[in-house]
Structure 1
Amino acid sequence: MKLAAALALSISLAASAAGAVPFGKWSEQKFPRLPGNQWSQSPQGVEVRSNGSVSLIWTRLPASDGAATRATWDWSVSESVPGTQLTRKGGDDRNLALYFVFLPQDRAEASRNTSIRKLLRDRDARVLMYVWGGTHARGEVLPTPYLGTRGKTLIRRPAGTGSYQESVDLNADFQRAFGEPKTVLVGLAVSSDSDDTGTSVQARLGGLRLE
């Protein structure tokens, strides 16, 4: 009985871990002439302190995650930037943004060693940015002031504090944002941005899973 129970627990733990995206080794990308955020990573999640600053952390995904169609995560904000207009360049602070970066099948593996800056500039890349911030309503899909036709902002929460769980349909959101079928998921990034308003963010994101 003890062996059977241990085996059942092992299977349960393996199942619960399937699809989990670990933090801990994501790389930080700063921006020229702007101070970076303070990031603290563990395998389960990341905490960020943004104080009149901006930067992101990112990771490439294994090929086995490329066909993911859903994502879930939890996030919390204890200190928030004010609501901003997220379509305005130079005035678009937000508490958190979770980026999903996609490339066509024939480009996905060839870009394996490409940096996040080059990925975001790639004309074939498509980026879904799920955002907590701004003055916009939940569910709105907005153009980004930086990525042009390559990216869309999807509002999950307006600026403010709290703690929430999220679940998104990547297939449906990609189709809605770009009017075409989803391509291959190649990378993820998390950003926080408070440099335009000179305010502060204290936030956490964790429990990230792909299915």
Structure 2
Amino acid sequence: MRLDRYLPRKLIHTWFLVAVLAGMSGCAIQAPPPSASAVEQLREWAPRDLPGKRPTRYAISTQDGQSCLMAQADRSVSLWRRRLQLGPDVLARVEFDWWIAAAEPLGTVTAPESDDSPARLVLAFDGDAQRLSMRNRMKSELVQTLTGEAPPFATLMYVWDAQAESETVVVSAHSDRVRKIVVGSGAKGSRGWQRFKRDVQADYRRAFGEGPGDLIGAAFMTDADNTRGKNQACYGRLLFLDEQRRSLPGSLDF
């Protein structure tokens, strides 16, 4: 029996995106070759496509002299992800750098029909699945059947939005286990490199009303599939930090 016949395609894509975390002008940017350090540090990362979707292009590159992961979305969506295992007693903060060329002006994570963003840092957290509602447990079981991967207990996204104001918190229309915090906004992009410094514990509590479990996965995501437009960004340093601001395993420090 094809279970996917009985669910809307958008819902299946949303839950597949959540599941895989547990486990532009349209032309290529001409840039100097990336550093050997950038290539080495990204060995633990890998692209992940979504079924039935055109994938976003990811490539190691440089922008304004900084090594980065260039993402070019053209009516597309996919992720660049890695697995992690960082307990809430260790992980305190996350810092990340983004360079955003421009944002599709019609895209906004506040509306499911135009839920596109030039840049997202997606964090997947573990937790007690028995605490989930019956509806969410059924969705989780369905996703595992369709994809072979169980979705995480909760997913927190830091996003750039063309329209929504910074610090807006958005609950996904498809799953209340996915919540988004807008950390930057504007259709003209970031106008250079920007560094964001976030208190993961506080942001998770703000989004979900409780403390987080283990961080089990992270991904970069640039998409433009809902608006059928284009988005382009470069992802630079990503630092997972403890209370003493020491870098934790899984960090990218090009």
TM over 0.5: yes
Which position in structure 2 is the counterpart of 1:157? 184
Instruction: Please give the secondary structure, in 2, of the residue aligned with 1:175.
Output: helix
CA RMSD in angstroms, aligned pairs only: 2.7
Question: Is the contact between residue 103 and residue 162 of structure 2 (CA under 8 Å) also seen in structure 1?
Answer: no
Task: Determine whether 1:202 maps to 2:225.
Answer: no
Could you tell me which of 124, 127, 139 is aligned with 2:155? 127
Aligned length: 179
Which position in structure 2 is the counterpart of 1:172? 202
TM-score normalised over the length of structure 2: 0.63
Question: Is the contact between residue 66 and residue 186 of structure 1 (CA under 8 Å) also seen in structure 2?
Answer: no
Instruction: Tell me the alpha carbon deviations over residues 130-162 of structure 1, each in whole angstroms, 9 at most, x when there is no partner.
Output: 00124111011111123x221211001124312
CA distance in 1, matches of 2:129, 2:226: 38
TM-score normalised over the length of structure 1: 0.75
Task: Determine whether 1:118 maps to 2:149.
Answer: yes
Q: Which has the higher helix share?
A: 2
Residue 63 of structure 1 deviates from its aligned partner by 4.7
Which position in structure 2 is the counterpart of 1:10? none
Task: Determine whether 1:36 maps to 2:55.
Answer: yes
Question: Is the contact between residue 109 and residue 116 of structure 2 (CA under 8 Å) also seen in structure 1?
Answer: yes
Instruction: Please give the secondary structure, in 1, of the residue aligned with 2:42.
Output: coil
Among all aligned residue pairs of Structure 1 and Structure 2, give the percentage whose two residues are the same amino acid.
Answer: 24
- Which runs of 5 or more structure 1 residues have no equivalent in the other structure? 1-20, 108-113
- Which runs of 5 or more structure 2 residues have no equivalent in the other structure? 1-39, 62-66, 131-143, 242-254
Question: Is the contact between residue 94 and residue 240 of structure 2 (CA under 8 Å) also seen in structure 1?
Answer: yes
Which position in structure 2 is the counterpart of 1:111? none
Q: Which has the higher strand share?
A: 1
Question: Is the contact between residue 47 and residue 205 of structure 1 (CA under 8 Å) also seen in structure 2?
Answer: yes
Instruction: Please give the secondary structure, in 2, of the residue aligned with 1:174.
Output: helix
Instruction: Tell me the alpha carbon deviations over residues 159-198 of structure 1, each in whole angstroms, 9 at most, x when there is no partner.
Output: 4312311000001011111111121111101111111222
Question: Is the contact between residue 105 and residue 184 of structure 1 (CA under 8 Å) also seen in structure 2?
Answer: no
